Amino acid sequence: MTSDTLTGTTAAGPARERSRSRAGRPPRRRRPTTWRSFIPWMFLAPGLLLGLIFKFYPMFEGFRMSTAKVQPFLGDIYVGLDNYTRVLGDERFRDALGHTIILGLTQTVGALVLGALLALLLEGQARRIWFVRTAVFLPVVTALAVVGELWRILYFPTESGFLNQVLGFLGIPPQEFLSDPSTALGYIAVVGIWTGAPYNMVIILAGLTGIDRSLYESAAIDGVSVKQRLRYIVLPALRPAISVVLTLAAIRSLRTFTEVYVLTGGGPAGSTEVWMTRVYSLGFQANDLGVASAASVLLLLATLGLTVLVRTLTTRKGKS
Amino acid sequence: MKNTMRPRRFVGLAIAAGLVVSVAACSSESGEDTSGSSGEQSLEVWTRSAAESAASYQMVFDAFTEKTGVEIDYQPVQEFDTQLQARASQKDLPDVLINDASSLGNYVAQGFVLPIDRESIEGEGDISDETWEQNVGLDGETYGIPWSRQANVTIIRKDWRENLGLEIPTNWEELASLGEAFATQDPDGNGQADTYGMVVPGSAKSGYIARWGNSYLWQAGAEILEADGDGYYTSAIDSPEAEEGMTYIRDLFCTPGVVVPGSVNLTTGETPFFGQGTAGIYLTGPYNISSFDTLLGAENVEVIPMPEGPESNTTFAEGENIYFGASSEKADLQKQLAEFLVTQEAQEIAMKVETNEAGVTSQPVVRLPVNENVDVAAVTGDDRWAIVAEDYANDSKTFPWNIDFNSFRQILADGMNAMVADCSSDIPAGLASIDEQFQAQLEAMDLVK
C-alpha cells in the first residue's frame, strides 16, 4: 500500500509544477479549483491506473522481493542484501555477465554496421526500392521466438542441415554451429544481428533523408571522393540517429533472452548462458524468486547506468 | 466533423476498456471469495494438464460427482507452478492439487500442502507400503496420496529393427550398436542416409538431460544423492561408477549418428524425431506410446525390457500425487475425493482412451495404477504396458521426492550437458564439479548433518 501512495505523489508532483509554470500569467495563478481542472486528470486516470497496477506496483514488488526469501504462502522473510551477495558471488552469474557483454557488443556493432550499410544501399527515391526495404525489414516484425525456431532449423548440425548444405556447395565441411560450446555464442550473435540490423537501417535512413541535399551538391562541385563525403557529411549528420541506435541497443543487449532461450536454452555446457536466462532458470525453475529479483534489479541499474553513459558520451561528442 | 468524431470514439473506447480491465481486476478477488463459500458441496481441483489429459480427468470427476453429488470445479492448468505461486500469494490455494510426486518436498517446504493420516484413508490397503512410503516428507509425515506411477521405458522402431535383421538389445553394447545400425544401415530402406539412432532431449533446460540420462548412471551403479534416513543427504555423484555411466552417455553422443545431431540443445518439445520417423530409439515416459501408435502404427512401436547396464537395469520412475491444499477448509470433501480416486473404478476410468463430446481424445492420466487390484495389461489390452509395469516393479528409482530436488536436478543437468557437449571433456573433473555444487546446495538447504 505504501508504494502505491508513494508513486501516486511522485507522479502527481512534477506534473502539477509543470502546469503551474506553464500557466505563467498572474491572473490565472490564483484561480480556484473547479471541476474543470479535474478533467485532464480524469482522462489521464485510466492510463495512470493501468501504469500503476501493471508497471509501478510490480516494479516495487521486485525491489521488495530482492531483499527477501520469497515464500508466497508462508510469508516472505527479510534477508537484507543476502540475495545480492549471492548473485555477485555466483560464478555462473559472472560467466553469464561475460557472455551478455560479448553478445551485446557483437550484436550492437554488427547490427549498426550492417544497418548502416543497408541504409546506404537502400537510400533513395526510386519507386521499386520500397519492396526491397519491406523485405529487409521483415525480421523486425517477426516474433523473436519464431525467428529462433527458424534459425535452429537452418543451423541443424549435419550435412542435411540447410546452412551446411549451402556450405557444402562451397566445399566447406559441415559445421557444428550451436552444438559446439566454442562457437554457439557467435552463431547466436549472427541471429541477433540479422534481426537487429533492419531496425537500425530504418532509423539511419530517417537520418540520411534529413541531410541537406545541397551539401552533397557543393561537395560534388568541390570534387570530394565518396570516402570523404561519408567522413565529413554523412557521419556527422547521422550522429543523432546513431546515438538513438546505440542507446536502444545498449538497453536491448543487456536483457537479451528470447533468442538465446529458443536457440540453445543457455547450453551447450552453459556457453551461451546470459543474465536473463540465468534469472529465468533461478526464478521459475529453481523457485528462487528472491535471488532472481535481486539479479533483475541489478540488471535494471546496469541498464540505467549504461543508458546514461551512452547518452553523455554521444552528446558530449556532439558538442565538441 | 467526421474527422474529430473518430478520435473521440477511440478515446471513449480506450477509457471503457481501461475501466473494464480495472473493474475485472478488482472483482477477481471477490469472485474467488464467493466460489470459496459457495456451499460445502464443491471442490476446486487443479491438475497440470493439456486438453487431452484434462479430458481424462474430467471423466473421473464426472463419475465422482454422479456418485456423491459433490461438484468439482476443475481447472486444468498448464503453467501449473507459476499459477500456483500466484494463488499462494493470495493465501487461497485450490482445495486439491494433482501434480508431480517430485514436487512433494517443494510443496511441503512452501507450506502449500497438508499432512495426511494414512490410516484414515479408506482403501489405503489397496496401495502398497512401498508406494505410500515414497510420500513421506522430511518430517516423517505423509503428504499427498499416491495417484499414478510410471517408469521410463526404451521404445524402439520394431519395423526398422526387423528390416535390419537385428535382435532386441539386452545390454548397453547391443543398444549402442542398434543405434549405430539405425544411423548407418538405412533401416527405412529409402536409399538415403536420413535416419539416426537415439532421440535424446539433451538440453540442460528444466533438467531434461538429467531426467533422460540418470537411468544410465544408475545402471552403472552410480548414485546421485544418498539419504541417511534421518532427513539428511550426502552427495554421491563423484564415483567411478558415475564415471563409467557418463562415459557411456558421452560415447553415445560422440559416435556419429547414434544420437540425433544437435540434441545437446534440445528439449522434449523440440525432439519429435521418433514420431517423425527420423530416429528409432527413445528412452522416455510410457505416456508417449499412444501418440507414437497414431503416428507410426502400433505394430511398429515396440517397448523392450530395459537393457542391462554394468550393474543393473534400473529405470527412472516418476509419479503423480493427490495433494490437499493447505488453505482449504473442506477436509472431509478432500478426503472423500482422494478415497474415490484410488478406487479400482476411478483408476480404471483414468486409464481409458475415449473421445469426449468436444472431439478430444483423452490421454490416460493414470499410467501405472497405484491400486494393486488393477491389472494394467488387462485394462489397456496392451501387452507393452505389462513391460512398463515390469520395468517399474523390477528395478526403478526416483529422484528424492521429500526435498526440493529441482536445484540439484539443474546442477546435474548442467554438468551432464557440459560433459556430452565436448567429446574430449574431462569426466572425472566434471563429476567433481557437480559434487562440489551439490555439497554447497545441500548446505544452503540445511540438508547436511
For B107-123, write each residue's pLDDT tens digit. Answer: 998 999 999 999 999 99
Nearest CB among A49, A160, A287 relative to B406 is that of A287
- Angle subtended at Cα B269 by Cα B106 and Cα B307, rounded to the nearest 5 degrees: 80
pLDDT computed for residue B255 by the predictor:
94
pLDDT computed for residue B108 by the predictor:
93
Q: What is the number of other CB atoms lying within 10 angstroms of the CB of residue B50? A: 11
Percent of chain B past pLDDT 90, that is, above it, reads 74
Residues 316-355 of B with CB under 8 A from A: 326-327
- Best interface-test mutation with B: which of A73, A86, A163, A187 has the largest number of B CBs within 10 A? A73
pLDDT computed for residue A157 by the predictor:
84
**Chain centre to alpha carbon of residue B396:** 15
Position A279 pLDDT exceeds 90? yes
Nearest CB among B21, B265, B326 relative to A264 is that of B265
Residue closest to A257 by CA, chosen among A104, A155, A111: A104
Residue closest to B438 by CA, chosen among B246, B229, B226: B226
Asked whether the ipTM of the predicted complex exceeds the cut of 0.95, the reply is no
Nearest CB among B205, B262, B417 relative to A178 is that of B262
Residues of B in contact with A266 (CB under 8 A): 204-205
Percent of chain B past pLDDT 70, that is, above it, reads 91
Q: Give the gap in angstroms from C-alpha A74 to the nearest C-alpha of chain B.
A: 6
**Closest chain A residue by Cα to residue B257:** A158
pLDDT computed for residue A216 by the predictor:
87
Nearest CB among B110, B270, B422 relative to A71 is that of B110
Residues of B in contact with A287 (CB under 8 A): 81, 85, 106, 404, 406
From residue A17, how far is each of A20, A23, A37, A82, A190 by CA, in Å?
5, 10, 14, 40, 48
Within an 8 Å CB–CB cutoff, is residue B93 touching chain A? yes
pLDDT tens by residue, A180-207: 889 999 999 999 999 999 999 999 988 8
CA–CA gap between residue A80 and residue A288 (Å, rounded): 15
Residue closest to B235 by CA, chosen among B243, B227, B247: B227
- Banded pLDDT at A319 (limits 50, 70, 90): low
Q: Give the gap in angstroms from C-alpha A22 to the nearest C-alpha of chain B.
A: 25
Nearest CB among A269, A271, A281 relative to B410 is that of A281
CA–CA gap between residue B419 and residue B434 (Å, rounded): 11
pLDDT computed for residue B206 by the predictor:
85
Does the beta-carbon distance from B414 to A270 stay under 8 Å? yes
Q: Give the gap in angstroms from C-alpha A72 to the nearest C-alpha of chain B.
A: 4
Within an 8 Å CB–CB cutoff, is residue B149 touching chain A? no
- C-beta of residue B187 within 8 angstroms of C-beta of residue B156: no
Q: What is the number of other CB atoms lying within 10 angstroms of the CB of residue B100? A: 16
- C-beta of residue A207 within 8 angstroms of C-beta of residue A120: no
Does the beta-carbon distance from B89 to A72 stay under 8 Å? yes
- Best interface-test mutation with A: which of B265, B273, B405, B424 has the largest number of A CBs within 10 A? B265
Position A111 pLDDT exceeds 60? yes
Q: HEC profile for B168-181?
A: CCCEHHHHHHHHHH
Nearest CB among B15, B25, B110 relative to A53 is that of B25
- C-beta of residue B283 within 8 angstroms of C-beta of residue B194: no
Position A252 pLDDT exceeds 90? no
Position A23 pLDDT exceeds 60? no
- C-beta of residue A85 within 8 angstroms of C-beta of residue A294: no
Report helix, strand or coil for B389. Answer: helix
Nearest CB among B11, B85, B410 relative to A285 is that of B410
Percent of chain A past pLDDT 70, that is, above it, reads 89
Residues of B in contact with A177 (CB under 8 A): 262
Q: Which amino acid is at A215?
A: L
Dihedrals phi, psi of A26, to nearest 5 degrees? -55, -45
Position B150 pLDDT exceeds 70? yes
pLDDT computed for residue A303 by the predictor:
87
Position B12 pLDDT exceeds 70? no
Q: Give the gap in angstroms from C-alpha A267 to the nearest C-alpha of chain B.
A: 6
Q: What is the biggest distance separating any 2 CA atoms in chain B, rounded to whole angstroms?
A: 86
Burial of B380 (0-12, 13-18, 19+ CB in 10 A): buried
Does the beta-carbon distance from A74 to B414 stay under 8 Å? no
Position A315 pLDDT exceeds 90? no
B308-327 residues labelled b (16+ CB within 10 A) or e (exposed)? bbeeebbbbbbbbbbbbbbb
To the nearest whole number, what is the mean pLDDT of chain B? 89
Q: Give the gap in angstroms from C-alpha B194 to the nearest C-alpha of chain A.
A: 8
Position B232 pLDDT exceeds 70? yes
Residues 6+ apart with CB under 8 A from B203: A264, A265, A267, B209, B264, B265, B266, B267, B270, B417
Position A277 pLDDT exceeds 60? yes
- Angle subtended at Cα B135 by Cα B134 and Cα B136, rounded to the nearest 5 degrees: 95
Lowest mean pLDDT among A52-56, B189-193, B267-271: B267-271
pLDDT tens by residue, A141-174: 899 889 998 998 899 887 778 999 999 999 988 8
A128 or B245, which is more confident: B245
Position B293 pLDDT exceeds 60? yes
Mean of the pLDDT values across residues A284-305? 89
pLDDT tens by residue, A39-98: 999 999 999 999 999 999 999 999 999 999 888 888 889 999 999 998 998 888 999 999
Mean of the pLDDT values across residues B243-254? 97
- Best interface-test mutation with A: which of B264, B327, B422 has the largest number of A CBs within 10 A? B264
pLDDT computed for residue B26 by the predictor:
41
Nearest CB among A179, A181, A287 relative to B262 is that of A179
Burial of A5 (0-12, 13-18, 19+ CB in 10 A): exposed
**Which H or E run contains B303?**
strand B301-304
CA–CA gap between residue A158 and residue B257 (Å, rounded): 9
- Banded pLDDT at B84 (limits 50, 70, 90): very high
- Banded pLDDT at A28 (limits 50, 70, 90): low
**Which H or E run contains B215?**
helix B208-219
Position B449 pLDDT exceeds 90? no
Position A6 pLDDT exceeds 70? no
- Banded pLDDT at B36 (limits 50, 70, 90): very low
Q: What is the number of other CB atoms lying within 10 angstroms of the CB of residue A219? A: 15
Q: Give the gap in angstroms from C-alpha B384 to the nearest C-alpha of chain A.
A: 33
Within an 8 Å CB–CB cutoff, is residue B194 touching chain A? yes
Burial of A222 (0-12, 13-18, 19+ CB in 10 A): exposed
- Banded pLDDT at B222 (limits 50, 70, 90): very high
Within an 8 Å CB–CB cutoff, is residue B63 touching chain A? no
pLDDT tens by residue, B46-80: 999 999 899 999 999 999 999 999 999 999 998 89
Position A2 pLDDT exceeds 70? no
- Banded pLDDT at A30 (limits 50, 70, 90): low
CA–CA gap between residue A304 and residue A306 (Å, rounded): 6
Position B5 pLDDT exceeds 80? no
CB pairs under 8 A between A and B: 104
A15 or B316, which is more confident: B316
**Checking DSSP bridges between strand B396-397 and strand B315-324, what pairing results, if any?**
parallel
Residues of A in contact with B20 (CB under 8 A): none
Nearest CB among A46, A73, A156 relative to B14 is that of A46
pLDDT tens by residue, B308-365: 999 999 999 999 999 999 999 999 999 999 999 999 999 999 998 888 888 888 889 9
Give the long-range contacts of residues A175-178, CB within 8 A, separation 24 or more: A177/B262, A178/A152, A178/A263, A178/A264, A178/A268, A178/A272, A178/B262, A178/B265
Residues 6+ apart with CB under 8 A from A275: A93, A96, A97, A100, A254, A255, A256, A295, A299
DSSP B19-85: HHHHHHHHHHHHHHHHHHHS-SSEEEEEE---HHHHHHHHHHHHHHHHHH--EEEEEE-SSHHHHHH
- Best interface-test mutation with A: which of B15, B92, B190, B205 has the largest number of A CBs within 10 A? B205
Q: Give the gap in angstroms from C-alpha B343 to the nearest C-alpha of chain A.
A: 32
**Checking DSSP bridges between strand B96-100 and strand B315-324, what pairing results, if any?**
antiparallel
Question: Whole-model pTM?
Answer: 0.80
CA–CA gap between residue B404 and residue B106 (Å, rounded): 4
Grid cell digits, residue B321: 500425487
Mean of the pLDDT values across residues B219-223? 96
Mean of the pLDDT values across residues B412-419? 94
pLDDT tens by residue, B305-315: 999 999 999 99
pLDDT computed for residue A14 by the predictor:
45
**Closest chain A residue by Cα to residue B412:** A269
